[in-house]
């Protein structure tokens, strides 16, 4: 029997096997493996592999898969365990699709196991078009949800093989403007860098062991992120001891010389990225690595190290081994009944009730006619967000309501207006569907008005078809076509329930004044319309919470290009929002009482307990939220910070005790030099169903419990 070579021996550590395999490659072969579309090395039994795959809210761009709510909607769940379960579903479906495709010899783009998700950038400004890919504006919430998603995606078997690999992106300080992203320099203080922009990345690297990190397009403090000594060498590889691989954003390395002007040509750009630790290039710049080597710009050792990082990941995924059990995951798990149930649960939990004068939930037995109106009423695009897969079935809000009501209630439907154009039919006069909408509203007991955006309006640069500003919003207003529709329908005088399908905060002041209820649906996934109907008619008691602040206007905000956190997000905003971070109404009524805190000791976790009682008439979920305010340190955030949360389920009349733990980091502040320290002995702890700002108290009618403590 021929002895196994070290790289063929599954008993050896993955990195040792990778080093042995890479040592057997020529320099040209090593360089070739640093491309996102790595070619085969047939003499060593290495098949072709495409590193580019997406799984933001389900396996994306590779055909049919279970589609979950867009990331911002999953953040609104405030449900860390469910995030882990969602990651596991995506991981299993990704492995199943990879196994089946590989058996057919299909190793195309979007069919690998290295998923470039999650996006854990901070959604600092509602104008950013890609904000709906994130988990919102809060570093703590983003870190907690991101860790669970990664651990679910990267679950391992008893032999240490990963089912799939996750990627934390975009490292770092990246949140628009999209139009400027290839040339923009995000200038940020050390305090904001370490207090806001880096904590989620640090958690995913040091706690979740994320396998990959993707650099951003922009520069941060003058260095291009995909070639940053500070970000990639000092922080990621140095301070955090990251052991996985780094991948560039797509064609970002070309920006070094074409837009950032920090290098002169392709060879210099390839050399800068490789020397700073970028292992895989999404783009074409690493086609010039060998010529950079010939010019003396990179060394053989640097090429070899990057190839080892890349091959280590492939060994961890079991791509060369027969004993990896994940290689047997069958295709039948894709969009199976169990996975679709998880997606529906996520959609149910993600939606946020912003206003309700008592009209919701609707009673089917009391309705004879319902008008469903609006450009997103029957839109499949508005279900999906961006970076999505193909659902096995789509259920729009209109279809969900029609299915729920059956033939007992007449359902009128009018598109009402185009999403952004001034008319639906090209040859018609402007506002050609408004009269139809008014006609139907007049004949209905209640109007379900479906407005908002979709990925053709807010999204990634070049991914949008009808552009606000390269995917970003110029302001928070609805498109004029929809604003006119809103005004016309509410003027009829019938009860109006507004469904807002957006991935970001909008100016809802007029809707808040004239609509009876407002439901933020986000982009809820393929069958989102079913969840919408279940919620409207009370089968599900709402429990989602806003992961972002809904401001009244862009006039409340700093300049979009200003990356300082001053007057941004709930932690620093000095004005009054329309709907605050952490806010969301329910169909039931939960009260908290009997807050108990154990003795606080500096440097130790702090455990607290609180009693939660559902004294409403419906079973419901709720989200218990804990915020902390430093009462002494001048370095503290301006307002308060989320430091713990948990989702609970309570039957009508049920009362139980809930325990939460605050980490020692909750009591620390970040100094001007970026260091974290304990700088105070006096703190105020708030425990509630929303944050402790005056607007939340006014909207909910409930003030959070609070207690001052000393360390």
Cis bond upstream, residue 172 (ω within 30) = yes
pLDDT exceeds cutoff 90 at 3: no
What is the β-pairing status of strands 496-501 and 517-520?
parallel
CA–CA gap between residue 482 and residue 601 (Å, rounded):
55
Rounded CA gap, 266 and 345, in Å? Answer: 48
Q: What are the distances in angstroms from CA 453 to CA 206, 463, 477, 507?
A: 36, 14, 11, 13
- Amino acid 600: pLDDT: 80
pLDDT mean over 596-601 = 89
**Residue 632 corresponds to which tokens in the numbers above?**
């002494």
Say if residue 698 is exposed, middle or buried (CB neighbours under 10 Å; 0-12, 13-18, 19+). Answer: exposed
pLDDT in tens, 283-338: 999 999 999 999 999 999 999 999 999 999 999 999 999 999 999 999 999 999 99
**pLDDT confidence of residue 464:** 66
What pLDDT was estimated at residue 466? Answer: 63
Burial of 658 (0-12, 13-18, 19+ CB in 10 A): middle
pLDDT over 80 (residue 618)? yes
Bridge partners, residue 612, by sequence: 592, 656
For residue 196, pLDDT over 80 is answered with yes
Under 8 Å between Cβ of 236 and 277: yes
Q: Are 520 and 352 in contact (CB under 8 A)?
A: yes
pLDDT tens for 353-365 read 999 999 999 999 9
Residue 467 has pLDDT above 70, yes or no: no
For residue 592, what pLDDT is reported?
Answer: 98
pLDDT category at 448 given cuts 50, 70, 90 is very high
Residue 13's CB is within 10 A of a number of other CB atoms, namely 12
283 C-beta neighbours (distance < 10 Å), count = 21
Asked if pLDDT for residue 667 goes beyond 80, the answer is yes
Q: Which two tokens stand for residue 316?
A: 């961890």
Mean pLDDT of all residues in 78-95: 98
In degrees, to the nearest 5, what angle opens at C-alpha 31 toward C-alphas 25 and 34?
115
Task: Give the span between the Cα atoms of 140 and 394, in whole angstroms.
Answer: 34
Which domains, ranges and CATH numbers included, belong to the chain? 6-333 (3.20.20.300), 351-548 (3.40.50.1700), 590-710 (2.60.40.10)
CB 674 within 8 A of CB 194: yes
pLDDT mean over 211-238: 98
Q: What is the distance between the alpha carbons of residues 72 and 257, in angstroms, rounded to a whole number? A: 34
Q: Please report the pLDDT score of residue 383 as a whole number.
A: 98
* pLDDT band, very low/low/confident/very high, at 1 (cuts 50, 70, 90): low
Q: What is the mean pLDDT of residues 171-178?
A: 97
Angle between helical axes of 14-23 and 300-316 (0-180°, round to 10) = 130
The pLDDT of residue 679 is above 70: yes
pLDDT beyond 70 at 13: yes
Mean pLDDT of 518-541: 97
Mean pLDDT along residues 411-428: 97
Question: What pLDDT, on the 0 to 100 scale, is given for residue 462?
Answer: 72
Q: What angle do CA 553, 556, 558 make, to 5 degrees?
A: 120
Q: How far does Cα 250 stand from its chain's mean position?
A: 19
Catalytic residue at 249? yes
Choose the catalytic residue: 249, 431, 472, 621: 249
- 3-state class (DSSP) for residue 312: helix
User: What letters, b where the CB count within 10 A reaches 16 and e where it falls short, cover 475-504?
Assistant: ebebbebbbbbbebbbebebbbbbbbbbbb
The residues near 337 (Cβ < 8 Å, ≥ 6 apart) are: none
**CB of 602 closer than 8 Å to CB of 711:** yes
pLDDT of 160 reads: 96
How far apart are the C-alpha atoms of 522 and 67, rounded to whole Å?
14
Residue 687 phi/psi, 5-degree rounding, is -130, 120
| Maximum distance among all Cα pairs of the chain, rounded to whole angstroms | 85
* Cα angle 204, 505, 464; round to 5: 80
Q: Return mean pLDDT, the chain.
A: 97
pLDDT at 213 exceeding the cut of 90: yes
Q: Residues in the chain, how many? A: 711
pLDDT at 643 over 90: yes
Tokens 């956190």 found at: 565
DSSP 8-class letter at 8: G
Tokens representing residue 650 in the block: 């309570």
Position 465 pLDDT exceeds 70: no
Q: Helix (H, G, I), strand (E, B), or coil: what is residue 128?
A: coil
CB 179 within 8 A of CB 130: no
Q: Which of 498, 499, 503 is nearest to 476 (CA)?
A: 503
- pLDDT of 546-558, one tens digit each? 999 999 999 999 9
- The token duo for 191 is 């305090």
Given a contact cutoff of 8 angstroms between Cβ atoms, the answer to whether 537 and 364 are in contact is yes
φ, ψ (nearest 5 deg) of residue 383:
-80, -25
What's the DSSP call for residue 664?
Answer: G
For range 414-435, the mean pLDDT: 97
Q: What is the mean pLDDT of residues 399-413?
A: 96
Percentage of the residues of the chain whose pLDDT score is greater than 70: 99
- Residue 46, classed as helix, strand or coil, is strand
């Amino acid at each position: 029997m021929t002895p196994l070579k070290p790289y063929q021996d599954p008993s050896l550590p993955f990195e040792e096997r990778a080093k042995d395999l890479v040592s057997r490659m020529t320099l040209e072969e090593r360089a070739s493996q640093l491309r996102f579309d790595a070619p085969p090395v047939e003499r060593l039994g290495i098949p072709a592999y495409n590193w580019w795959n997406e799984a933001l809210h389900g396996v994306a761009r590779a055909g049919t898969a279970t589609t979950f709510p867009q990331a911002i909607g999953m953040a609104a769940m405030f449900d860390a365990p469910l995030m882990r379960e969602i990651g596991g579903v995506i991981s299993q479906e990704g492995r199943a699709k990879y196994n089946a495709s590989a058996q057919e010899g299909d190793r195309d783009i979007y069919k690998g196991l290295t998923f470039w998700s999650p996006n854990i950038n901070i959604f600092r400004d509602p104008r950013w078009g890609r904000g709906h890919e994130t988990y919102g504006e809060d570093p703590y919430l983003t870190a907690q949800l991101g860790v669970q998603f990664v651990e679910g995606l990267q679950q391992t078997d008893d032999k240490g093989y990963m089912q799939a690999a996750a990627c934390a992106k975009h490292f770092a300080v990246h949140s628009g403007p999209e139009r400027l992203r290839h040339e923009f320099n995000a200038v940020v203080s050390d305090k904001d860098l370490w207090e806001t922009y880096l904590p989620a990345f640090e958690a995913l690297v040091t706690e979740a062991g994320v396998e990959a990190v993707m650099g951003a397009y922009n520069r941060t403090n003058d260095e291009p992120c995909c070639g940053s000594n500070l970000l990639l060498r000092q922080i990621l590889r140095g301070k955090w001891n990251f052991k996985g691989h780094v991948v560039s954003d797509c064609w970002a390395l070309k920006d070094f010389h074409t837009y950032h002007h920090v290098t002169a040509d392709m060879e210099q750009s390839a050399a800068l990225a490789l020397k700073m630790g970028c292992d895989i290039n999404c783009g074409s710049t690493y086609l010039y690595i060998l010529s950079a080597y010939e010019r003396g710009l990179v060394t053989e050792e640097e090429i070899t190290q990057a190839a080892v990082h890349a091959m280590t990941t492939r060994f961890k995924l079991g791509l060369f081994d027969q004993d990896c059990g994940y290689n047997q995951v069958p295709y039948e798990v894709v969009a199976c009944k169990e996975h679709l149930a998880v997606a529906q649960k996520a959609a149910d939990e993600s939606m946020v009730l912003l206003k309700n004068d008592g009209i919701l939930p609707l009673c089917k037995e009391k309705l004879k006619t319902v008008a469903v109106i609006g450009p997103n009423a029957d839109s499949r695009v508005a279900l999906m967000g961006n970076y999505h897969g193909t659902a096995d079935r789509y259920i729009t809000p209109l279809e969900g309501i029609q299915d729920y009501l059956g033939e007992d209630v007449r359902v009128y439907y009018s598109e009402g207006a185009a999403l952004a154009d001034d008319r639906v039919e090209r040859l018609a006069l402007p506002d050609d569907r408004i009269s139809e909408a008014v006609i139907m509203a007049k004949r209905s007991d209640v109007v379900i008005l479906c407005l908002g955006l979709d990925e053709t309006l807010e999204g990634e640069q070049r991914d949008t078809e009808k552009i606000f500003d390269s995917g970003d919003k110029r302001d928070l207003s609805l498109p004029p076509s929809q604003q006119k529709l809103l005004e016309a329908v509410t003027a009829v005088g019938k009860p109006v329930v507004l469904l807002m399908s957006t991935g970001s905060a909008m100016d809802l002041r007029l809707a808040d004044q004239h609509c009876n209820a407002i439901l933020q649906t986000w982009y809820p996934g393929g069958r989102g319309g079913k969840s919408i109907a279940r919620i409207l008619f009370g089968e599900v008691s709402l429990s989602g919470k806003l992961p972002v602040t809904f401001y009244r206007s862009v006039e409340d905000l700093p300049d979009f290009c200003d990356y300082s956190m001053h007057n941004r997000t709930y932690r620093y905003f000095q004005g009054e929002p329309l709907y605050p971070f952490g806010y969301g109404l329910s169909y039931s009524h939960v009260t908290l009482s009997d807050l108990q805190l154990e003795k606080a000791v500096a440097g130790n976790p702090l455990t607290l307990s609180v009693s939660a009682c559902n004294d409403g008439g419906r079973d419901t979920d709720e989200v218990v939220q804990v915020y902390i305010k430093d009462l002494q340190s001048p370095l503290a955030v301006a307002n308060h910070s989320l430091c713990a949360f948990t989702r609970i389920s309570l039957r009508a009349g049920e009362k139980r005790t809930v325990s939460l733990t605050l980490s020692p980091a909750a009591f620390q502040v970040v100094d001007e030099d970026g260091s974290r320290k304990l700088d105070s002995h006096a703190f105020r702890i708030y425990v509630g169903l929303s944050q402790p700002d005056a607007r939340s108290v006014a909207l909910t009618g409930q003030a959070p419990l609070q207690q001052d403590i000393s360390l």
